[in-house]
Every structure is written in C-alpha cells, then in structure tokens.
C-alpha cells in the first residue's frame, strides 16, 4: 500500500514543478531573473502584482475573461438543459443525426474557424464584445454540455417525470423545481467543463477582440512580444490566471470523480 502511494505522489510533484517555477518567478525582480539561476526568490517583491493591479489594461483583461466565460457558461447550460432532456426522453425525426452533428463540432480545429469567425462577428456588429466571445465558445461548449447532461438525465428513471405529471405539475414547473435539482451533480460537471474550455481557449477569444473585451491571456502575449523580456510580469499574470480554475475545481471536487462515472462524459 505504501509503495503504491509513491506513484501519485511522484506524478503530483511532476505537475507542481512548472507551476512552482511560475509562481517563484512572479516574486522575483527582472534583474534577479536575468542575472542568473536561483531556486527561491532572493529579493522578494510584489512589484509585478502591483503593476497588474494598478494598470487598467491588465486588470480589465482579467475582468473581461471572467465576464465572457461566465456568460458562456450560463448560455451553454440554459440551452443545453432542454435539449439534453429531449435527447434523453424522446425519439424524434433526425435525433441521432443531430446528436452526432453536434459532437462533430467538438472536433473542429479552432484554427479552421478563426478567420470566418472574425468576418461573421464583424458583419453582425458584435466584434470586440464579450457576447461575441461567449457565443463563439458555444460552438464547442454546447455539444459537450448536451453530451454530459444527456448522460446524467438518462440515469434518472422516467417514472419521476410521470409521477410529477400525475401530481399535476406543469412541464416548466416540474423541470425547474424537480428535474434540474435531481441532476445537480450533472449540472455542476457540465458547468465545470464549460468554464474550463472557455477559460483556457485563446485563439478565438483573441481573434474576436481588440480592446474592449480583450482577455487576460491575450494581454500576456502582447507583453511577451512588445516589452521585451518582462518575465516577472508575465509570470505574475500567469499565476493570476490559475486562481479562478483552482476555485472552480475546489467547488466541484466531490462531483468530478462521481460525475464522470455517472454521466457518459
């Protein structure tokens, strides 16, 4: 038993090393970074973080990212819930074809869509808005959310629906007050995945924004190229992008393992 524990410990150590290095870098001054190798920050500084929190282009990047990611999660779940219900409960003309077609969108390389997306969202006047990025990310998040939720819903016996109708519930009332709470683990897992893929995607988010809705991650590429070697600042910005993810995982930690097994993710 003891020997077996070594494998996860080694694996987690391997995962943490690059993250440690990023965090350590963020507390170093540019001088220290460029002057040579040091395992721990020698002259500990919060200057890099101070720059980010005082410069509007930096902290707005952060707010922009959170805005469009939240917006995307809400939109994806709102439309995926009824659709997943339809797929799990009813047979209708073209249901299988539609389900497969939805999944194929998960396979489309974002690089393929970058340019047409730019033209499409410019044409409808949504370029450089949060809603544009949120809608664009629906391309791969809605299919995933439908897929996950359908798995969870199929695990709920149909008798639940029938009993509710016999008891005189209308469909919307039943769906919102009984059905959705029953599969709240599934909603949690689906929300986690929507958040995750929208938060980490950059190519489309960068293509669809220029100033007003620019994500934090795109702000970083600008620093990397124009201001030369501001490694400390880059590391601090990178460290800050890890935090929302960590918070979200903490909330769904009990659902992740169970969720995967229950749903058909």
Partner 1 sequence: MKTQNQKAWYFVLPVLLLVAFNALIPMMTVVNYSVQETFGNNVFFWEGLRWFEELLNSDRFHAALGRQFLFTGLILLIEVPLGIIIALSMPRKGPWVPVCLILMALPMLIPWNVVGAMWNIFTLPDIGLLGYLMNTTLGIDYDMTQSPFAAWATIITMDVWHWTSLVVLLSYAGLVSIPDAYYQAAKIDGASPFKVFRYIQLPKMKQVLTIAILLRFMDSFNIYTEVFVLTGGGPGNSTTLLSIDLVKIALGQFDLGPAAAMSLIYFAITLLVSWLFYTLMTKDDAK
Total of residues contacting partner 1 (CB under 8 A): 96
Nearer to partner 1, 79 or 128 (CB): 79
40 binds partner 1 (CB under 8 A): no
Is residue 196 within the footprint of partner 1 (CB under 8 A)?
yes
8 Å CB contact between 81 and 210 = no
Q: How far apart are CA 139 and CA 133, in angstroms?
A: 10
The span from the CA of 112 to the CA of 129, in Å, is: 21
According to the binding rule CB under 8 A, does residue 256 interact with partner 1? yes
Shortest distance, position 145 Cβ to partner 1, whole Å: 9
213 versus 218: smaller Cβ distance to partner 1: 218
For residue 262, the minimal CB distance to partner 1 (Å) is 8
Specify whether the CB–CB gap between 253 and 185 falls below 8 A. no
Give the whole-angstrom CA distance, residue 37 versus residue 238: 20
C-alpha dist (Å) from residue 31 to 24, 26, 36, 173, 238? 14, 12, 9, 62, 19
Helix (H) or strand (E) holding 254: helix 231-262
Among 44, 53, 165, 260, which residue interacts with partner 1 (rule: CB under 8 A)? Answer: 260
Min dist. Cβ of residue 54 to partner 1 (A) = 21
Per rule CB under 8 A, is residue 166 in the interface with partner 1? no
Among 36, 125, 157, 181, the residue binding partner 1 under the rule CB under 8 A is 36
Instruction: Tell me how far, at minimum, the Cβ of 50 lies from partner 1, in Å.
Output: 20
| End-to-end CA separation in angstroms for the chain | 30
Q: Are 87 and 93 in contact (CB under 8 A)?
A: no
Q: Which residues, numbered 208-227, are part of the site for partner 1 (CB under 8 A)?
A: 216-218, 220-221, 224
Of 63, 66, 71, 114, the one binding partner 1 by CB under 8 A: 114
Question: Could you tell me the smallest distance in angstroms from the CB atom of residue 25 to partner 1?
Answer: 6
Q: Which of 60, 128, 156, 245 binds partner 1 (CB under 8 A)?
A: 245
Is 104 one of the binding residues for partner 1 (CB under 8 A)?
yes
* H or E element, residue 25: helix 2-26
If the CB atoms of residues 107 and 211 are measured against partner 1, the closer one turns out to be: 107
**Contacting partner 1 (CB under 8 A), which of 41, 61, 98, 181?**
98
Q: Which is nearer to partner 1, 182 or 202 (CB)?
A: 202
Q: Which residues contact 215 (CB under 8 A, 6 or more apart)?
A: 61, 64, 65, 68, 133, 202, 205, 206, 209
């Amino acid at each position: 038993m003891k020997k077996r524990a070594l494998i996860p410990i080694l694996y987690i150590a391997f995962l943490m090393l690059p993250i440690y290095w990023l965090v350590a870098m963020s507390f170093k001054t540019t001088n220290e970074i460029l002057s040579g190798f040091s395992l721990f920050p020698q002259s500990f500084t919060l200057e890099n973080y101070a720059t980010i929190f005082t410069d509007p282009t930096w902290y707005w990047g952060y707010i922009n990212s959170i805005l469009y990611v939240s917006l995307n999660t809400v939109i994806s779940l709102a439309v995926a819930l009824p659709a997943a219900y339809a797929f799990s409960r009813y047979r209708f003309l073209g249901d299988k074809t539609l389900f497969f077609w939805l999944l194929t969108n998960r396979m489309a390389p974002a690089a393929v869509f970058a340019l047409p997306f730019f033209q499409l969202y410019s044409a409808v006047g949504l370029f450089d808005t949060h809603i544009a990025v949120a809608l664009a990310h629906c391309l791969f998040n809605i299919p995933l959310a439908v897929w996950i939720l359908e798995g969870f819903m199929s695990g709920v016996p149909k008798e639940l629906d029938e009993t509710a109708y016999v008891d005189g519930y209308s469909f919307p009332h039943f769906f919102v007050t009984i059905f959705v709470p029953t599969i709240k683990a599934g909603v949690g897992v689906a929300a986690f995945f929507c958040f995750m893929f929208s938060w980490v995607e950059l190519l489309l988010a960068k293509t669809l924004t220029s100033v007003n809705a620019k994500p934090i991650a795109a702000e970083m590429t600008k620093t990397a190229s124009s201001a030369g070697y501001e490694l400390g600042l880059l590391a601090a910005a990178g460290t800050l992008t890890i935090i929302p993810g960590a918070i979200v995982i903490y909330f769904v930690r009990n659902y992740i393992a169970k969720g995967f097994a229950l749903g058909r993710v």
